[in-house]
Every structure is written in C-alpha cells, then in structure tokens.
Structure 1
Amino acid sequence: MNFDRSVDVLIVGSGAGGLVAALRAAEGGADVLVIEKGSLWGGTSATSGGGIWIPGSSLAAAAGQPDDLDDAFGYIRALTSDNVPDSQIRAYVDNAHVMLDWVERVAHTGYQALPYPDYYPETAGAREGFRTHLIGDSMHASDMEDASFATMQSASPAASLWGRINWKLDETYLALFRPKGWMKQMGKVMLGYWLDFPHRLKSPRDRRLTLGTKLLGSLRKALDKHKVPVWLETPLVSLIDHGGEVAGAVVMHEGREMRIGATKGVILAAGGFERNPDLRRDNLHGSLDLAHASGSQENNTGDALVAARELGAATRNLDAAWWAPTFRIPGEDRSRLSTTERALPYSIVVDQSGRRYVNEALAYHRFGEVMLESVRNPDLPKRDPSWFVFDSRYRDRYPAGPIIPGMPDALLTGTIKQVLLKADSTRELAEMMQVPVDVFEATVDRFNTMAEAGKDDDFGRGNAAYDRLYGDPRVTPNATLGSVAEGPFYAIPLHLGDIGTSGGLVTDDRGRVMRDDGSRIGGLYAIGNLAASVMGYSYPGAGSTLGPAMTFGYLAAGDAVGINS
C-alpha cells in the first residue's frame, strides 16, 4: 500500500492514556507518531486533577496499606455492568499497579497513595483509602521543551486558584480551611507565580505544573526524550482497512490529507463523544443541554468512534457518562465540576419543588446519577437544574464554583451575577428561585434542626468517610453540617453535567477492538473514554477514568509491539 508516511504505532489523541501508550511503545523501540485534533495537546487529562484509581499499588503497601486484588476485583464486579467480562476487570486489577510502577520509573510522575475513600463504602471490597493516587509534588515548565509547554492544554479554571494559579491538593485544603500558618504558605504560592519573570510579562499561564498538568508534563518530558513527534491540528479522517485489518489512518495535516501507515497498530485514545450534539442526542438520553452540559474540552466529538464503527467495531453502553453536578457560568466554554462545595457546612441542595432529595456530600458521579433520575422519571420533581443554597457564613468562608470567599459581592464579575441569587430572607430567596415558598422554608427549618444536632436523619450526610473528606474539621459535631440560618442567603443553579462519556468501543483485555461477532479487528486498539469503560455505569473511586485509560494504554502498546509480560 502507498503511504505518505509509515510508523510502527500511530496514537490518535494526546491525553494521559495516549501518552502512556506512546511512551510504552517508544520504550519498546517502536517508531511512534502521536496526532492531536486540537491546537493544544493534553486533552481532558490536562484539565483534570490527575487522580488515578489503582488497587494493590506498591505505593499503598509502602504507606502501610497493602491491598487485596481479589477484593478489588469483587468490588468492581459488584458495581460494573453485567456486559463487562471478568477478563477485562481482571486485566485492569492485575496490571494497574504494574503500569503505575512503570510510569513512576520512566516518567517520575510523583504519585502518592492517599487516604481517599472509595465512593461505594457499602459495597463489599471497598476501602477507606489508598486506592486513589494523586500527584503530590509539582514540576516547573522550564524542565520541559519550550514548544511542548507552549502548546500544552491548561488546567481547568475549577482546578486552579482564580482560574490562573495552579495548586496542589494540600494547598486547596489550606485555602479552604485556613489552619494556622496558611497565609504564609499560600503567600509563597502566589509570590512564586507573580515573581516568575520575565515569563509573567509574556503570559498569565502558570509555569508551575500540578495535578493533571504535572502528570501530562511528566509524560511529555519523557516522550520528548524519545523524540516522538506530536502533530497538532491533525484530526483523524478515517481508518485504512486492508483485508479486514487496520493498516493505518487518513489524517488532515497542514491543510492536506495524508495516509499514515502503522505496521504494528493504531491506538485510538481520542476521548469520548460528549461534545458532539448529534451523538449526544442519540445516546445520552436525559442530558440534552448540548452546548454546555460537559466539563470536558471541546474536541471530544467522537470522530474516532465513528471511524471505528465504519469498520464494524462493536459498541457497549453508549448511554453511559461520567455524570456530575456542575455550575455553568455564562461565557465559559465548559461547565465547572462541583466537588467540594456540596460537602461544606451552611449549605443545602434543593430541587424545583423546594425539597432536599439527596445526601449533598455524595461523590459527584453518584450525585449526578440521582439528578438523572428525575430526567428519566417525569413523576419526580425536576432536579436539573437544582439550587445550591448557602448562607452568609458559607459565603464568607468557602468557594462556590467561581465565587471566591472574602471577595465583596459588588466585585463579582457580571457573568457570575447573572446566575447568583441573593436575598435577605429564605422566603425572598424562594421567590427568586421560583420554588414553593412554604415548602422551601420548611425544608430549611428541618435541615437546620438536624444540623444543630449533627445528624442528618433524612439522607445521612456526613455518615460516610467520603462525605467527611471535604467537610470542615472546625465544625462540630458533623463537619459537613451547618445550619442555613444567617442572612443574606444565596443560591446558584446546579446543573446535571458530565466530565465525559464512558460508553464506547468494545475492547478485550489488551485494548484490542472487537466486532459484534467477537472477532478482533486486527491492528486496532482503543483506550480511555473512547472505549467502553471497564467500570460500566459506575464510578468506584476517584481516578476511575484516568486509571483505566493509562493501564489499557500501557497494555495496548505492549501488545502492539510485543513486549507485554
């Protein structure tokens, strides 16, 4: 066959899964090319917190918290959908920790196993920590090649201070709860940002990389050492079929179509389809605000999914997504994920009937699933949008999406003021929210009574370890409960959104793409949100997206170049 260029392995997509696959193949001696549809590389991974859910890691064992892989398998098996085979779960559980050890060795990502609880503590096999791994340190962009940093996807506004200064997990804790000495430590962070000359005169971007940007920066630095090219603004057009196997791909590059041959495989790592209105309308029944529903980056439009289906690839669970409650700020190109806010005291969430309907401190996917119930059941009061309600104490102490504590209301931006409601009384706030006044006031009164007692008799807020993770330890007897009692009172819409789709191409235990009849499409692999998740419809713990993406990227590349153990 005639090609404009031939490589051993072609990677489509430049998120964490794609870069792990590229690095694994390059380490194995393969000639690798990475293509990226957008003008920036890093995908949604770079905008994320960078967490990965990895059972049985050596880092957990070193922290005195060894895990049982059979327990982890049972935990996922109980939560995932029936159409996910045992072999795929087993492949993940048995290889995720192997991948992490390898990534730490070759890319120095700086992961730590933390006491971050699993999301379903009531399910057998769950643990109260040390399966979720987060990056604890930072790196400076000066350690990367200049061109690589210049074209790197920035952190999400929700994962940085003022949408500008990158921070680590322990620094968010300092800003939230202000323990003794917090101003000095946060002052160092801000001073480091403002004194980064001469770069500060050129760009507002923070060159201190943390969380997702640290992960991607570490992977790209390692990849650059292998001289692996990353072509930007190079969308996939189609896959090249040669006798029922994939021999390469047609791409658009520098204004013209090119045929790229891939002698050992094409690994699709191009993300989900959540930013494609047609695919979203056809599959994600219930979340139809197509322009603003997702918190992912704008290039996840399902191009690779469509290309693989044209070759007969099977799909699974296309109605699945990583659901989440989100804030939508006019003018922003994506929704902002709500993680910490709902577990903080002096706040509640009500539906359009003015009632609470859920433990507000639930993990975001579980919370999103409860919101979704009302979309699919017309007999329930509408929950999309809900109202996130808080009082003046919350306003003074904690953030609510982009609303910064301590900043006078008058100084909030006009776009925030478009969605934030403020009233002197709960009655007036109810009228502004257009919910039944008497019902809302009764809801607040009952909640306040329970908050004063420190026990949520209705939904158990604060009972689980995960609930308390983001609670304020200064508030007793329940760190997540505080009465909504001191005016002025505030409310901001809380929408049903997502951080990506989780259904996609059917793959096997090495990321190889399958047909409906169970046969394999030779030369084709899929990983990350493009592939149907090993987690099915569930989200077992923080990092359940990136963990499998990186693990199956590692396995797929190893299979393609023949270096899997």
Structure 2
Amino acid sequence: MSELYDVIIAGSGSAGMTAAVRATKQGLKVLVVEKAHKIGGTSATSGGVTWIPNHGLGTDDSSAQAIEYINAVANGPVRSDRIDAFLETGPQMIAFLREIGMEPVVMPWPDYYPEAPGARADRSVVFPKYDGRRLGELFPLVREQFTRFKLMNRYTLDFMEANTISTRSPGWIREVLKVMGRYWLDFSTRRLDRRDRAFSLGAALIGPLVERYSAMGGEFLIGWGVKKLVVEGEKVTGVEIERFGKRRTVRSRHGVIVCAGGFEWNQELRNRFFTIPGDTRFSSTPEEANRGEMLEAGMALGAATEFTETGWWVPTMSLPLTTASNFEEIHQAVFDVGRPHSVCVNRNADRFVDEACGYDRFGNGMLEDQLKTGANTPCWLIFDATFRYKFTAGGIMPTALMPDSKIPASWWDQYIFRAPTVRELAQKIDLDPAKLEATVARMNGYAKTGVDPEFGRGGNAYDRNFGDPKLKPNPCLGSIDKAPYYAMPVNLGDLGTKGGLKCDAQARVLDGNDRPIPGLYAAGNASGSPFGNAYPGAGGTIGPAMVFGFIAADMIAQEAKGELGKFTHNSG
C-alpha cells in the first residue's frame, strides 16, 4: 500500500463508504481505515433505513414541507444551515446511488411524529437483499447482522419477512420454510461459511458500496485504529494509526474525513457529556466499537463539539447468549414495547409514555421520567399470555417458536418473570401490587373503548403501523387478562450518540471560534446531528450520515481540482 493518498477516511459505515465511493468515483486516491476486524461499522448491523426527504423517487414531497416538519418536531436547538444542506443534497446523493447501480426502495413508514405539520409516510428508503458472494474475498469481512435480526439466530430476514413471521401474519409458516430453504439449498456458501450469503437491512446498504469502492481500486486498512491526527502548519495532513501495538503514519494530500461513529462505548465520555450517562453495556451498537477516539483526537486540535448530551435512544433488553450463558447479548425492543396486550411502567408502577411511539421518543420518555421521578431506567414491560403467544419480547420469541419450556431455567426470575396473577407478578419484581393491578385494569378498559386518554396510544399512523390489525377498535390496545403474566426489564439503550464534532454545512470540522480546521471533515455520528435532539423518521441517523459523507467527498474533490471557491452542492 501507499503512504500517501488524496483522502483518508476513518470508519467504514454508511458515512465513510458513501464518502469513499463518491471520492473514488471522482478520481481521487482513497484509503478507508477501519479499526475493527470487519467492514461496515454500526450501519451494517442496523436496519439500514435512510431518511431522505424529497428524495426524487416518485413522490410529491418538498424541502419546504420537510423544513416545516423538522421545525415542528425539534426538541431543542437544531442547525438550520446543515438542515438546508442536507435537504438540498439528499436527492443528489440518492441520484448518485442509482447512477452507480444501487436500488433504493421507498417504504410506506410514517415519520416518527406523524401528528406534526409536514409529516409524511414516504421519506424512508431501504435497499433490497444483496448477494454477499458478489464481494469475493471481502464477503466474510463485511460485518454481519446481529442475531437479533435473524430467524433462529441464523437466517437472514428482510423487513417484510421479519414482520410477517414476528406477528404471525397469514402465511408466516410458509415464510419460515422459504427462508430456511433458501439458506440450506445454498450449497456453495455452506461449504465456505455458516453465514447467510443474503445480506439484508444495513448489510444490504454496505455490501454494494463496498463492492463498488473495491471495483474502482479503493483500498482498505482493516484492524488499524486512528490514534492521532497529523497536522502540518494548520492543516490536517494525515493520521497516525496502530495495529497490534505497531504504529505508522499515513498522509493525505487533501483531507481526512472522520466517519468513525460516536462515543457510546466510552463510559468516561458518557459520564462527561450525557444528561443521564447510562451504562455502555446497554448500547445496541457493536460492542466496544464506538469509543470516541476520533472525537478526542479532534478536540485535541481545538475542535468544537455540539449536541453531545444525548443519544439516539432505543429501549433494549439483555439476555444470555444461548451458546455461552456467561455472556449477554443486547436485544432491541423497538416495537415490542408498543405491541397490544402489554403496558410499560416505571418502578412506581406508573405509565410514562405512549408505548407504541417511535423508539427514540420512547427513550426520551424514559429519560424525562427518570429525571422527574428517579424511578425509570430501567422500566418494566408487563404482558400476558396472549402477547407471549403473538409477539417477541427482546430475544424471547413467540411461543410457537419458543414456548416457556424452551426458555432456559436460569433466565426465569432473572431476565424474564412469570406469575399466575398480576399481583404476584408485581411482588416478584418489587412493584406496588395494588398500583400495578390498577394500571392493568385501566389498560383493559382502554382496550374496550379503543381510546387511551393518558397518552393516546394507537391514535396516530406510526403507532398503528406496528399494532395488530385484527384488534378492534384500536390495533395497539389489547386486554391484559390471560394468565400467566410476564415482565421484563427495559433499559435506556442507544443506537449511538447524537453529538460529536461540530461541523458546518460543508462537513468541515469547526474550532471553538466556528472557523474550519483545514483538511478536517466529519460525517455520521462522529459529528453533531443537524437535527439536534430530534429523531425525525426511520433512517434519521443514516440519511444525514450518507449526505454529509457525500458533501465532504465533493469538497475534497473540488479542492483537489483547485476549484474550492466554485463549490456548490450541485457538483456532479
């Protein structure tokens, strides 16, 4: 490999790979440095959804409507300059992906605040299943989905398959057999690896980006972590990297783009920045991956930070690994907490949120209730046998796939609790029995009327999208009245951090006086979110990450061509 590149990119998630493909396509010599032993970062393990308003894929959305919506849902300060750049460049980034042969598909998912002015149900796009064997030798080096996104810890699922199976919709058994048959009939891959060759969700986004970057001659350094930003004069001109204790310096002619994720796995930084620090072990991102090294490296150069007080929240549950009980795995409870025949309560046995709302909104509800009562984080998911039969609860599959008899004995009364009555369940988990009985009784009343006067559960399109359509009058409200009764603790987990290096609309990292640090750019969770503490819709993390990676690559390409003064977001 060379020791001099046009641009060095730290991190290989959606921000880094978008920047890498865009820069390479424009003729630059690019190096992607990834400290992990796998390519893809947090993005590869995510749902892979990308939130791009006015994306140009056959809808009548507009930037004006998107701005109206974002301003309506802003939960504190936002960066209007970066929002404008995001909205202007997002459609161009999508057009570029189509130009290089990727196929974004619009999903009919409501924005996370569907009641707000300007909300829509067509701003989230996903990418179809991708054949991982197209990557050749890189196939086993792309980060694999967490088992929580797989059927029986093995079989790849896309969104439609997962929804059909998890909700036991008509044809779900046939769907299970199709998924399993696809895997076992793939004899060539079974001889190579246990992994399913079908990449879905986040891997279906990362896979084709890696393929195109590699085909154009882009280079990877895998397993090398950036320890220091190299500066000559006032300009960042390279990185000092380390692997297995050996250090080396790699230089860049035109810039370094920091796309190395946030700091959710650094307890010291969480304690320093977060309103409620929480514990690193409740994060649902790849373990020990995002430790904020590049945030600290930027701050060491005088870089400013913003929005570091909060994360992209998601309720999570912990369960032991089935193959190694001494180790725990984090399971997202994105939709589980809002399914009918259940209720979420704090440790005072009080409800605190519309349980079916968006996961970041749910997490903010946990945080606000903790600040108010001191009796949240964790809270409790309470459900009955009907819920247990129909739905997942973290890593606990519905009874058809995982009956109570298949739940390991060591999990009972440690990770999942069961009792013949609500009162006895409350006693097991140290809640006030009378208060929990009263809360459940109220929920049963709401299930009959279809109206939740406390929090409006099921009163908007987002809530109803993940309810049980067979339930009337409200698909999100089902009676909690069939024994046995169950409880599982729910932690304030995250999908990463919302804050990081402060950047301008051109993705340039700013110092304490809001001046760009020459040669230093950032995108994704390594930088502050343009939305501040808001999470506008599905893909609200990945959308801006890819767009600002795209912008950073364009900025560097213009500098390389000596045309920086002529830069516009419309560069082709």
Q: TM-score, normalised by structure 1?
A: 0.94
> Which position in structure 2 is the counterpart of 1:447?
443
What SS is found at the alignment partner of 1:329?
A: strand
Shifted more, 7-16 versus 314-323: the winner is 314-323
Checking the alignment, whether the CA contact within 8 Å between 1:295 and 1:336 is kept in structure 2 is no
> Which position in structure 1 is the counterpart of 2:403?
408
Report the Cα offset of residue 389 of structure 1.
1.0
- The structure-2 alpha-carbon separation of the partners of 1:145 and 1:381, relative to structure 1 and needing over 3 Å to count, comes to same
TM-superposition CA deviations, 1:57-103 (whole Å, max 9, x none)? 121x2xxx310111112322343466543221100011111101111
Checking the alignment, whether the CA contact within 8 Å between 2:261 and 2:526 is kept in structure 1 is yes
The 1-side partners of 2:39 and 2:411 are apart by 29
Report the Cα offset of residue 158 of structure 1.
2.5
Checking the alignment, whether the CA contact within 8 Å between 2:115 and 2:460 is kept in structure 1 is no
Shifted more, 535-544 versus 85-94: the winner is 85-94
- The structure-2 alpha-carbon separation of the partners of 1:332 and 1:451, relative to structure 1 and needing over 3 Å to count, comes to farther
The 2-side partners of 1:245 and 1:209 are apart by 39
> Which position in structure 2 is the counterpart of 1:488?
484
The 2-side partners of 1:324 and 1:75 are apart by 22
Report the Cα offset of residue 202 of structure 1.
5.1
> Which amino acid is 1:106 matched to?
I
Report the Cα offset of residue 205 of structure 1.
1.6
> Which position in structure 1 is the counterpart of 2:24?
26
The 2-side partners of 1:126 and 1:278 are apart by 37
> Which position in structure 2 is the counterpart of 1:46?
44
> Which position in structure 1 is the counterpart of 2:155?
165
The 1-side partners of 2:514 and 2:442 are apart by 55
Q: Does 1:119 align with 2:112?
A: yes
Amino-acid identity (%): 37
What SS is found at the alignment partner of 1:10?
A: strand
- The structure-2 alpha-carbon separation of the partners of 1:82 and 1:464, relative to structure 1 and needing over 3 Å to count, comes to closer
Written as runs of structure 1 = structure 2, the 5 A alignment for 1:494-533 is: 494-533=490-529
Checking the alignment, whether the CA contact within 8 Å between 2:80 and 2:530 is kept in structure 1 is no
> Which amino acid is 1:118 matched to?
D
The 2-side partners of 1:449 and 1:376 are apart by 29
Shifted more, 405-414 versus 30-39: the winner is 405-414
Written as runs of structure 1 = structure 2, the 5 A alignment for 1:537-552 is: 537-552=533-548
Report the Cα offset of residue 323 of structure 1.
1.3
Checking the alignment, whether the CA contact within 8 Å between 2:35 and 2:223 is kept in structure 1 is yes
Report the Cα offset of residue 416 of structure 1.
4.1
Written as runs of structure 1 = structure 2, the 5 A alignment for 1:120-159 is: 120-127=113-120, 129-135=121-127, 137-146=128-137, 148-159=138-149
> Which position in structure 2 is the counterpart of 1:249?
239
TM-superposition CA deviations, 1:233-291 (whole Å, max 9, x none)? 10001011111110111111465211111101100000000001111111113133233
Q: Does 1:321 align with 2:314?
A: no
- The structure-2 alpha-carbon separation of the partners of 1:489 and 1:351, relative to structure 1 and needing over 3 Å to count, comes to same
Report the Cα offset of residue 545 of structure 1.
0.3
TM-superposition CA deviations, 1:358-391 (whole Å, max 9, x none)? 11101000000010013323xx151211111111
Q: Does 1:86 align with 2:76?
A: no
Checking the alignment, whether the CA contact within 8 Å between 1:284 and 1:320 is kept in structure 2 is yes
Pick one of 423, 426, 431 that aligns with 1:430.
426
- The structure-2 alpha-carbon separation of the partners of 1:338 and 1:179, relative to structure 1 and needing over 3 Å to count, comes to closer
Report the Cα offset of residue 54 of structure 1.
0.5
> Which position in structure 1 is the counterpart of 2:391?
398
TM-superposition CA deviations, 1:102-139 (whole Å, max 9, x none)? 1122141x321122111112332222x0011122x212
The 2-side partners of 1:315 and 1:413 are apart by 45
What SS is found at the alignment partner of 1:236?
A: strand
Written as runs of structure 1 = structure 2, the 5 A alignment for 1:125-524 is: 125-127=118-120, 129-135=121-127, 137-146=128-137, 148-200=138-190, 203-253=193-243, 255-330=245-320, 335-377=330-372, 380=373, 382-405=375-398, 406=400, 407-413=402-408, 416-417=411-412, 418-524=414-520
What SS is found at the alignment partner of 2:319?
A: coil
- The structure-2 alpha-carbon separation of the partners of 1:288 and 1:412, relative to structure 1 and needing over 3 Å to count, comes to same
Checking the alignment, whether the CA contact within 8 Å between 2:275 and 2:310 is kept in structure 1 is no
Checking the alignment, whether the CA contact within 8 Å between 1:295 and 1:334 is kept in structure 2 is no
What SS is found at the alignment partner of 2:280?
A: coil
> Which amino acid is 1:26 matched to?
T
What SS is found at the alignment partner of 2:351?
A: coil
- The structure-2 alpha-carbon separation of the partners of 1:170 and 1:82, relative to structure 1 and needing over 3 Å to count, comes to closer
> Which position in structure 1 is the counterpart of 2:561?
none
Checking the alignment, whether the CA contact within 8 Å between 1:343 and 1:468 is kept in structure 2 is no
> Which position in structure 2 is the counterpart of 1:6?
4
The 1-side partners of 2:332 and 2:530 are apart by 23
The 1-side partners of 2:82 and 2:225 are apart by 29
Checking the alignment, whether the CA contact within 8 Å between 1:244 and 1:521 is kept in structure 2 is yes
Report the Cα offset of residue 453 of structure 1.
1.9
Report the Cα offset of residue 397 of structure 1.
1.3
Checking the alignment, whether the CA contact within 8 Å between 2:352 and 2:369 is kept in structure 1 is no
**Number of residue pairs aligned between Structure 1 and Structure 2:** 553
Shifted more, 247-256 versus 402-411: the winner is 247-256
What SS is found at the alignment partner of 2:100?
A: helix
TM-superposition CA deviations, 1:403-434 (whole Å, max 9, x none)? 11112212124564330001111111010111
Checking the alignment, whether the CA contact within 8 Å between 2:15 and 2:546 is kept in structure 1 is yes
TM-superposition CA deviations, 1:178-201 (whole Å, max 9, x none)? 343332233111111123224335
What SS is found at the alignment partner of 1:388?
A: strand
- The structure-2 alpha-carbon separation of the partners of 1:487 and 1:83, relative to structure 1 and needing over 3 Å to count, comes to closer
TM-superposition CA deviations, 1:205-245 (whole Å, max 9, x none)? 21111111111111111111012111111000101111111
The 2-side partners of 1:193 and 1:413 are apart by 27
Q: TM-score, normalised by structure 2?
A: 0.93
What SS is found at the alignment partner of 2:9?
A: strand
- The structure-2 alpha-carbon separation of the partners of 1:322 and 1:55, relative to structure 1 and needing over 3 Å to count, comes to same
Pick one of 12, 15, 23 that aligns with 2:13.
15
- The structure-2 alpha-carbon separation of the partners of 1:150 and 1:512, relative to structure 1 and needing over 3 Å to count, comes to same
Two-structure CA RMSD over aligned residues (Å): 1.8
The 2-side partners of 1:333 and 1:546 are apart by 27
- The structure-2 alpha-carbon separation of the partners of 1:239 and 1:553, relative to structure 1 and needing over 3 Å to count, comes to same
The 2-side partners of 1:444 and 1:333 are apart by 30
> Which amino acid is 1:138 matched to?
K
Report the Cα offset of residue 451 of structure 1.
0.6
Checking the alignment, whether the CA contact within 8 Å between 1:249 and 1:260 is kept in structure 2 is yes
Report the Cα offset of residue 5 of structure 1.
0.5
Which ranges of structure 2 fall in alignment gaps of 5 or more residues?
Answer: 321-325, 559-566
The 2-side partners of 1:334 and 1:536 are apart by 29
Report the Cα offset of residue 560 of structure 1.
0.5
Which ranges of structure 1 fall in alignment gaps of 5 or more residues?
Answer: none
- The structure-2 alpha-carbon separation of the partners of 1:22 and 1:107, relative to structure 1 and needing over 3 Å to count, comes to farther
